[in-house]
Structure 1
C-alpha cells in the first residue's frame, strides 16, 4: 500500500511539475511584456494592459474547450490496456477533433478580440488608450491560433503522460519573447520600430515558433509521433461532439471565475487607490502560487482518468487525497513565508514609502493563506471531476460557489459589516471554500455510486453520472 502511494506521488509529481513550471513561464512572458510597456509610457501601459487582459480572457475560455483532450486520451489508453488492444485510432481521432475545435475557436476568438477594440468605445473607455490598444489587439489576434494548437499538443503529451518536452519549449519562449519584443519595439537591424504594437507582433510570433518547436519534438518521439496528426480532417463527428460536451462547461467555468474576480476588483476600487493597488499586488502573488495548484490539478485529473477507465474507484479516491495533500503543503509553506517575511514578499511590487498600501496588502496576505488553500482545492476538484468526464456539474457548482456564496458574502462583509477590503477577501475565500466543498463532495459521491455499481459494470464501461 505504501509503495503504491509513493508510486502515485512520483507519477503526480512527474505530471504536475512540468505543467506548473510551464504555467509560471507563461506568467513570466506576460510580466515581461507589461514591464516593457512601462518603458514606453503610462498610456501605453494602460492600453497594453487592457489588450493583454482581453486577450487572456478569450484565450483562457478557448483553452477550456480543449482542456478535456488529455482526459479523453488518458481514458482511451487505460481502457485499451484493460481490453488488451490498441487505442491508436481513438487517440488519433481525439487529437484531430481537438485541432479542429482549436482552429475554429482561434479564428472566432481572434475576430472577437479585434471587435472588442472598436466596441469598447461605447463603454466609456478612454479614446486615446483605445487608439493605442487596437493595433496591439490586431497584432495579438493571429497568435491565438498557434497558441491553441500548442495547447492541443500540451494536452496530448499530458494525456500520454509524456509532458517533458513541454517545459523545455516553454522556458525557451521567455527569453525569445524578450528578444523579439525589444527588436520589434525599437526596430533592431532591418525590423521596423513598432513601439507598443511590436510587443504584440513578437508575442504572436513566439506562439507560432513555440508551437512549431513543440510539434517537432513531439513528432520525433517514437511513442507520441505514432498517433499525432495535425490534420483536422477527417474528424469523427461523435468525437468532436464528445470533446465539446466535455470542454464547453470547462470554458464557461473559467469565464465564470474570471468574471467574479473582475467584479470584485471593481468593488475594491470603491475603497480607493491604495486598496485596489494592494488587491492587485496580493492577487498577483496568490496567482503565481496558484500555478502549482494548476499543475497538481491537471496531473491528478489525468491519473483519475486512467483509474476510472480501469474501474479502480478506490484508487481514484486515494488520488484525490494525494493531490489535496500536495496542495496543502504548498499553501502551508508559502503561507509561512507570508507570515514571517511579508515585506520581503511585497517589496518587488510596492514602494516601501507607500505605507498605506503596504498595510492593506499585509492584511490581505494573511487572508491569502486561507484563500490560496481553498483556491487550490476547488481547482483540484474541477480537475478530479474532469477526470470522471463530469464537467457540467462542475460548472453549475462553480456558479453556486462564486456567485451565490462568494460575491454576496464579499459585499455583505465589505459594506454592511464594514470590513472593507478585508471583507471582500473573506467573502472571496468563502466562495472558493464553498466551491471546493461542493466539487469534492460531488466527486466522492460519484465514486461511491460507481463502486456500488461495479459488479454490474462491463469492461470499459464509464462512470455513470447524472449532472
Structure 2
C-alpha cells in the first residue's frame, strides 16, 4: 500500500476531477444571481428591495426543489458502477435500464415540484404582506414573482439532467453552459428592462422574465449536450409517463429529507439574519457583507460534497467500504487546505476583503464586519465540514439521518447558543455569530460521526473488499 501522503495526493486528484468543475459551476451560479441584484439596484432602491424579496421567496422554493432530485446523482452513480462491474453479463443491461428509469423519475419529480412551487410562489407573494413587509414593496415584488414562477419547472428539469450527467461522471458541459448563461442573463435583463430592439419596456418584471428564459435555455442546452454524448444519449429518457411507481416512491423518500435539510438550513440562516437585524442597520449591513463572503467560499464545499457523495455511492455499490472511508478523509483534507488559505487572507487583509461592500469608510458597520470576519475564518472550516458530512450520508442513502442531525445542530444547539451569546451575554452581533459557529461545529461533528458509524455497520455485515 502506498504511504499516506501519496495515497492522499492520488485520492485528492481523483476527487478534484469531479469537484473542481462542480465548484466552478456553483460559483458561476452565484455570479448569475449577483447580476440580477446589480440590475435591480440600477433601477432604484425600491426595485432592489422588491426584487430582493422576490428572490428570497424564489430561492427558498428552488433550493428545496433541488433537494428533491439531488439524490438522483447518487443513485445513477451506484447503478453506473454496477453496470461497469457487470459488463458482459445480464447485470449490465439491468443497471442501464435502472439509470433510464431514474432519469424519468427525476424529471417527473421535478415537474411536480416545479408546478407546486410555482403556485406557492404566487400565494406567498400575496401572503407576505401579513408578515410585516412594506405593502409598496410587496406590490412591486408580485409582478416579478409572476414572471419567475414559470421558470421553476425548467430550473428543476436542468437540475435533474445535471444530477444525471454528474452521476455518470461527465459534468464538463455544466460549467460551459452556466458560464454562458451569465452573459445571456445580463443581455436579456437589459433587453427586457429597458425595452430595446423594439420590445416593450418591462422594468423590474423584465428581470423575472429573463430569469425564466435563462432557465429554459439552460435546460435545452444541457439536454442537447447530453443527447450528443454517446455515453449519455442511450440513457436519457424523457418518457416520464413510463416511470416505475417503485422508483418514484424511492426517489421521493430519499429526496424529501434532503429538501427538508436544505430548507431547514436556509431557514436557520434567515432567523440568524433577523436576530442580527434587531441590533440595527449597521449590524445587519456587516452581517450581510460577511455572510456573502462565507456563501461564496461555501460553493467550494458544495463541489467537494457532491463529488465525495457520488464517490461513496460508487464505492459502496462495488462493496469497497475502505475507499469510501478514504473519501471522507480526502474531502475534509482538501476543504481544510482551501479554508486555511481563505482564513489567512481574512486575518491578514480584512480591509481589502471588505472593500467591495463598504464605501471606503471606517464606520461602525466596517469595524463590526472586521470582527465577524475573524469568526468567519474559523466558522468556514465547520461550514464546509458539515456540508461534506451531508453529502457523505447521502452516499449511504441516509438522508433521513442527515436531516435529523441538522435539526439538532442548527435549531437545538445553534439557535439557542446564538440567542444566549447575543442577548443574555450582551455580545450582540458577535455573540450571534459565535452561536452560529457553535451550531455548525456541532452539526459537522455529528454528521461525520454518523457517517463513520454507518460505514462500520456496513463493514460488520459485508465481507471486506480489497483496498
Shared fold (TM-score, shorter chain, > 0.5): yes
* Post-superposition offset of 1:206: 0.5
Trace 1:251-262 onto structure 2 (pairs within 5 A).
251-262=259-270
* Post-superposition offset of 1:82: 3.4
Trace 1:242-391 onto structure 2 (pairs within 5 A).
242-391=250-399
Tell me if the contact between 1:401 and 1:431 (Cα under 8 Å) persists in the aligned partners: yes
Trace 1:50-449 onto structure 2 (pairs within 5 A).
50-84=53-87, 85-86=91-92, 87-449=95-457
* Post-superposition offset of 1:126: 1.4
* Post-superposition offset of 1:83: 3.7
Quote the Cα distance in structure 2 between the aligned partners of 1:322 and 1:383: 13
Q: 2:112 aligns to what SS in structure 1?
A: helix
Quote the Cα distance in structure 2 between the aligned partners of 1:354 and 1:15: 42
What is the match of residue 25 of structure 1?
A: 28
Deviations 1:371-412 (A, max 9, x none): 111000000000000001000000000000000110000111
* Post-superposition offset of 1:119: 1.1
2:53 matches 1:45: no
Quote the Cα distance in structure 2 between the aligned partners of 1:244 and 1:305: 18
Quote the Cα distance in structure 2 between the aligned partners of 1:189 and 1:82: 55
Deviations 1:139-159 (A, max 9, x none): 000011110000011100110
Q: 1:456 to 1:348 in 2, by over 3 A?
A: closer
Quote the Cα distance in structure 1 between the aligned partners of 2:182 and 2:85: 41
Tell me if the contact between 1:99 and 1:231 (Cα under 8 Å) persists in the aligned partners: no
* Aligned length, in residue pairs: 457
Q: 1:348 aligns to what SS in structure 2?
A: helix
Quote the Cα distance in structure 2 between the aligned partners of 1:440 and 1:353: 42
* Post-superposition offset of 1:456: 9.7
Deviations 1:264-298 (A, max 9, x none): 11110111111111001100000000000000000
Quote the Cα distance in structure 1 between the aligned partners of 2:107 and 2:13: 30
Tell me if the contact between 1:352 and 1:358 (Cα under 8 Å) persists in the aligned partners: no
* Post-superposition offset of 1:360: 0.3
Deviations 1:322-362 (A, max 9, x none): 00001101110111110111111111111222521110000
* Post-superposition offset of 1:5: 4.1
* Post-superposition offset of 1:6: 3.8
Gaps of 5+ in 1: 458-467
* Post-superposition offset of 1:8: 2.6
Deviations 1:421-446 (A, max 9, x none): 11101100110011000010000011
Q: 2:30 aligns to what SS in structure 1?
A: helix
Q: 2:238 aligns to what SS in structure 1?
A: coil
Quote the Cα distance in structure 1 between the aligned partners of 2:231 and 2:149: 33
Deviations 1:32-81 (A, max 9, x none): 11111111111111100000011000000000000000000011112233
Gaps of 5+ in 2: none
What is the match of residue 462 of structure 1?
A: none
Q: 1:338 to 1:4 in 2, by over 3 A?
A: closer
TM-score between both structures, scaled by the size of structure 2: 0.96
